[in-house]
Amino acid sequence: MSAPIPDARSAEHWFQEAWDPEMSLGDWWQVLALSGWGFPTWPERWFGRGLDSQEARRVQAARASVGAVGPPSGIGVMMAGPAIIDHGTDEQCARFLPMMVNGQEVWCQLFSEPGAGSDLAGLQCRAERDGDEWLVNGQKVWTSGAQFAKWGILIARTRTDVPKHQGITYFVIDMDQPGIEVRPLREMTGGATFNEVFLSDARVPDENVIGDVDRGWSVAVTTLAHERNSLGASGMAGAAGGAIIGRNDLSRPAGKLSSGGGEMAGIAAAFGGGGDLIKSLPALADRANDRILVDKVMRVYSLMEIARFTSLRVQAAAAAGRGPGPEVSTGKLLASQLVAQLRDVGLEALGPQGQLMGDETLLGGLLQQLALFSPAISIAGGSDQIQRNIIGERVLGLPVEPRLDKDVPFSELSVGTQR
């Protein structure tokens, strides 16, 4: 019989006792990981508390009330970790999770390709067995944080004589090897969040296959569901509590951690604090008496609450043992619309100042950063169009989009450079 689930009061007491702003960030993340309070919905044996979504939110609120820094964020803990817990072996969990949850190792996601974005199953990156290893050749693109990453979650084609969804295998690949070249992609934000990655005889040991060989598509679907949930309103709000690992000095005092700006800083700030920033925007812009602006702000806040409740449904389903459902796509689509509305209302509130960047502007340029990065949210984790297809087919019961290649071996398809 499992032990009783501790309530949020236990978490608050722990944070009050354990939080020390002078502790190094690396030490704090290690203490937080071992406590189970950093990732409370994860299983108890893997750095969690086994809590349901409502209790987890109370834990997050308890942490925030104490002013403690949250756990590391990023691809690892938001996507790779949950996927490995769901589909990996105990040995793989024990090998990969410890350095992930304490912020020591950065992860990236090697899924999309130049010819396989929305049609991800059309990927051409190949993995061929070489003894007890696999040789990987191909190109990936839009890989967030690859320039910082130690590990990557990779899907590659291991069979071509079966339909495209059936011959894919899911790997964990070491990014620090001669066969991998990372090229940052400069964006209009001035930053380089995304990268293209070239793999030339890159090696992966057989022990790094997650799930079964040739059946990695189901693992990829689970990963994408976690990604879409993390890109929902609650997921982006959570980014304000911790920090993207790889961009922070782990030796610095944890209490001095800040978002450090960057493309996601404005979005995290806008979603964090229960929408406090957006609600206070008219007053901050000295337009509290502008009823039209106030009305627009409250419409955005209402949509934010709808997105939050949708995220709670996803978390409740996971806590009940149900796999990610179509509500994940609904939440992702809501978040995309919400970011666009935040951009428009934010720039309207700023007026001419919205054309300026820098610390001297209102909110230090956070809303301008949000505006420049906002198009990425409608694409990342599956485009808005893909989410609408999923909702239409799986929720509304509309006719399924014709898929003429469903039962055709991949080798017979005209895909990308394969003609």
Among the listed residues 259, 249, 252, the one whose alpha carbon sits nearest the alpha carbon of residue 73: 259
Residue 225 CB partners (closer than 8 Å, separation 6+): 323, 324, 328
Among the listed residues 324, 303, 307, the one whose alpha carbon sits nearest the alpha carbon of residue 315: 324
Q: Which tokens belong to 391?
A: 């909702």
CA distance 252 to 103: 13
Are 358 and 333 within 8 A, CB to CB?
A: no
CA distance 278 to 168: 43
β-pair partners for 141: 196
Which of the residues 105, 227, 263, 327 is marked catalytic? 227
Task: Look at strands 151-157 and 107-110 and give their pairing.
Answer: parallel
Residue 177 three-state SS: coil
Among the listed residues 191, 159, 346, 208, the one whose alpha carbon sits nearest the alpha carbon of residue 261: 191
Q: Measured in Å, how far apart are the chain's first and last C-alpha atoms?
A: 58
Residue 129 three-state SS: strand
CA distance 172 to 130: 16
Residue 46 three-state SS: helix
- Sign of the Cα torsion 16, 21, 22, 23 reads positive
Give the CA count within 13 Å in the CB-facing half-sphere of 34: 6
> Known catalytic residue: 91?
no
Q: Which tokens belong to 341?
A: 């509305």
Phi, psi values for residue 20, rounded to 5°: -135, 105
Q: Which tokens belong to 170?
A: 């899911």
Please state, as a whole number, how many other Cβ atoms lie within 10 Å of the Cβ of residue 21. 13
Run of H or E residues at 291: helix 291-319
Catalytic residues: 227
